[in-house]
Amino acid sequence: MTPSDAVASRTSLRPVRAARPWSADSWKTHPAAQLPHYDDAGELQATLDKLDKLPPLVTSWEILALKQLLAEAQEGKRFLLQGGDCAETFADCNNEVIANRLKVLLQMSLVLVHGLRMPVLRVGRFAGQYAKPRSADTETIDGVTLPVYRGELVNGPEFNAAARRADPQRMLRGHARSAMTMNFVRALVDGGFADLHHPEYWNLAWVDRSPLAGEYHRMVDGISGAMHFMETLAGPITTFQRADFYTSHEALLLPYEQTLTRQVPRQWGWFNLSTHFPWIGMRTAALDGAHVEFCRGIRNPIGIKVGPSMHASQLQELIEILNPEDEPGRLTLIHRMGAGGIGQHLPRLIDAVKATGRRVLWVCDPMHGNTEKLGSGVKTRRFANIRSELEQAFDIHTAAGTRLGGVHLELTGEDVTECVGGASGLSEADLGRAYKSTVDPRLNYEQSLELAMLIVRKQGFGAG
């Protein structure tokens, strides 16, 4: 066996333990939270039959490559930057929104690479983040009660009966838009958009008005100088010319996920080919629930959202169910406790995971524990709380002897006003100006960049 055979067999080894039987539809025998009711079973099946014949969105090679990179992040050799919309919309599947989101993620990763002195693994919450868990099944406005909006893959956000009907056809439209998004992202990246020699491609119109512009430009100049120096010595370095992006979304709408879960030639097992990196949301992490059952049998890396209500034993069992062989790169724990809750809940969960002796990647989502509703009914998040949760996360991991290996953020490249605070001091009064999210408030371009700079100040090279 050559060394490369050894690597190949390690990544393609079948599990040795006898696992409970699993099939792509075994989730159907488990209680399923957060799934919509489809009123026409025939229409649902006919639509899934069409979806079944369409090409997948990603490949098994990419999925296994990502798993390897996540394994390196678990070893402290990479930092994960996972970000994008709370809920993508079909209307936002357009040139500008996709390119702007990519620009922000590229700028943030540049800041992180430079400051952390470590490769950054970029994973978008895009090309399929179309299904949302909700806290109630219905919504009542002025005495009228309708099914709640569950994301564009299920129904529409408008408050009328036709829009709120769970429409199976939306799965075909969501698949097509995911493919268009992926196609454009891949073409941009392959075509030179991510080339480090041209960070000016990623500038957004309002960057120079930002109080952060000076710091960012100084850093870019420093990187350009270093690259020039290295290429003068070594000749052109091709790795500077591209930056890979992987996709992720919450694996929520199981009929859709199942239909895109397939076997591929020369690989054992099943891959969810709707995305590289599905995650299990906080509301669907029940041990005997359908979502955990579904994710158990696919070979993708899996994220689990971990909230303050998670019991130590539940987390330990989730790890056992989802990664019985302790496979490297398989599990990422995305904790989202809130600035006020992280100090209480994260240490006990770190201890619980330590007690299993299993490997995980720890990632902080400082967004979902910090959502609040203002008197006006508008949902927002305060930058100060997001920042505080993230800073505490670094400190708690350091104190515990574990390592925070990434961040999971809701952000956009648009100049929205959804979260308050940040360098430009957005106030509650500003929220009316450009609030576009259909579900949770996102960081805008400037707040996202500020957070990346903050991570570097907290944890970066020379930070003290």
441 binds ligand PEP (CB under 6 A): no
Stretch that binds Co ion, among 39-47, 133-141, 233-241, 437-445 (CB under 5 A): 437-445
E strand map for 4-130: 79-84, 120-125
Q: Which stretch binds ligand PEP (CB under 6 A): 183-191, 266-274, 280-288, 454-462?
A: 280-288
Q: Is 368 in the site for ligand PEP (CB under 6 A)?
A: yes
Size of residue set near ligand PEP by CB under 6 A: 9
* Contact code string over 133-162 relative to ligand PEP, x by CB under 6 A: x-----------------------------
3-state secondary structure of 218: helix
Residue nearer to ligand PEP on the CB measure, 334 or 456: 334
Q: Which C-beta is closer to ligand PEP: that of 104 or that of 252? A: 252
Residue 116's CB is within 10 A of a number of other CB atoms, namely 18
Shortest-Cβ-distance residue relative to ligand PEP: 281
Q: Which stretch binds Co ion (CB under 5 A): 79-87, 110-118, 244-252, 279-287?
A: 79-87
Write the binding mask 197 to 226 for ligand PEP: x where contact by CB under 6 A, - elsewhere.
------------------------------
With binding defined as CB under 6 A, does residue 328 bind ligand PEP?
no
Among 184, 141, 337, 139, CA closest to 149:
139
Is 336 one of the binding residues for ligand PEP (CB under 6 A)?
yes
Is 327 one of the binding residues for Co ion (CB under 5 A)? no
Residue 385 region by backbone torsions, left for phi larger than 0, else alpha for psi between -120 and 50, else beta: alpha
DSSP string, 259-316: HTEE--TT--SBEETT-SEEEE-GGG--TTSHHHHHHHTB-S-EEEEE-TT--HHHHH
Is the Cβ–Cβ distance between 308 and 345 less than 8 Å?
Answer: yes
Q: Are 344 and 386 in contact (CB under 8 A)?
A: no
Under the criterion CB under 6 A, does residue 305 sit at the interface with ligand PEP? yes
Dihedral sign, Cα of residue 351, residue 356, residue 357, residue 363? negative
Gap between the Cα atoms of 134 and 1, Å rounded: 51
Q: Does 85 bind Co ion (CB under 5 A)?
A: no
Given a contact cutoff of 8 angstroms between Cβ atoms, the answer to whether 113 and 199 are in contact is no
Q: Which does 282 bind (CB under 5 to 8 A by kind): ligand PEP, Co ion, none?
A: ligand PEP
**Burial class of residue 28 in the structure, from the number of CB atoms within 10 Å of its CB (0-12 exposed, 13-18 middle, 19+ buried):** middle
How many chain residues bind Co ion (CB under 5 A)? Answer: 2
86 contributes a contact to Co ion by CB under 5 A: yes
Q: Does 128 bind ligand PEP (CB under 6 A)?
A: no
Q: How far apart are CA 414 and CA 117, in angstroms?
A: 28
Q: Rank residues 270 and 279 by Cβ distance to ligand PEP and give the closer one.
A: 279
Interaction partner, residue 133 (ligand PEP, Co ion, none; CB < 5-8 Å by kind): ligand PEP
Name the minimum Å distance from CB 86 to Co ion.
3
366, 301, 457: which is closest to 83 by C-alpha?
A: 366
Q: Are 444 and 390 in contact (CB under 8 A)?
A: no
Q: Does 319 bind Co ion (CB under 5 A)?
A: no
Identify which of residues 250 and 391 has a Cβ nearer to ligand PEP in the complex: 250
Note the maximum CA span of the chain.
Answer: 72
CB-nearer residue toward Co ion: 85 or 450: 85
Interface residues with ligand PEP (CB under 6 A)?
Answer: 86, 133, 281-283, 305, 336, 368, 440
Interface residues with Co ion (CB under 5 A)?
Answer: 86, 440
